[in-house]
Amino acid sequence: MRFSFFLNLTLATVGLAAVTATGASAQTARLRGAIVSANASVLEVRTREGATVNVQLAPNVTVGRRVRAEASQIKPNDYVGVAAVPGTGETLKAVEIFIFPAAMRGTGEGHRAWDLLPESTMTNATMAETVDTSDGKAMKLTYKGGEKTIALTPDTKVFTFAQGSAENLVPGRQVTLNAEQKGDQVTTARVTVDDP
């Protein structure tokens, strides 16, 4: 099985909620959970709700690592994806920040509702500058058609991406993936795994 660098962002959503119909009986879904077991063809994942899903891995499945980083690594003009919840006034509070590789600038640009947490949103945008708010230090993010101010907190997690391999798919690791569900069968060609 060939494993290579995964440069497609697969941010987490809950369970196996279908997001796009891809055929008469197939749907694209996003899955988040912890690895129970893994072999060359099947990844067993336990979702946050406690369900266990056996995911069939495509022969050319790609694997990437979500690597912890520091907020200090985020520089003006970086392209980021920020999962956030409501803060004070118009300011949001960052839950997770993903620093995109330069090659992925523009991916999913904009602001939208997100289901990582209740009332959470996702903003994929350029970090224009840091500002001071009543919630502390914040980032001003700009995207086509708008901008958002998102505060950083001590609990905000920051991630970058790195190359992954089959060796990273070990029990206990958190994974996110896009999958195709057809009947009872779930398959994927892309997996992102969190570093420990």
Domain count, the chain: 2
Give yes or no: residues 116 and 177 share one domain: no
Within-domain flag for 10: no
Give yes or no: residues 96 and 150 share one domain: yes
pLDDT tens per residue across all 196 residues of the chain: 433 333 333 333 223 344 444 444 578 877 889 999 999 999 999 988 899 999 999 999 999 999 999 999 999 999 999 999 999 999 999 999 999 999 999 999 999 998 788 999 999 999 999 998 777 899 999 999 999 999 999 999 999 999 999 899 999 999 999 889 888 889 999 999 999 8
Exposed, middle or buried: residue 56 (CB in 10 Å: 0-12, 13-18, 19+)?
A: middle
Give yes or no: residues 148 and 176 share one domain: no
Can you give the pLDDT at residue 16? 38
Give yes or no: residues 45 and 94 share one domain: no
Range of the domain at 52: 18-66+162-194
Can you give the pLDDT at residue 132? 86
pTM over 0.85: no
Can you give the pLDDT at residue 73? 95
CATH number for the domain that contains residue 29: 2.40.50.320
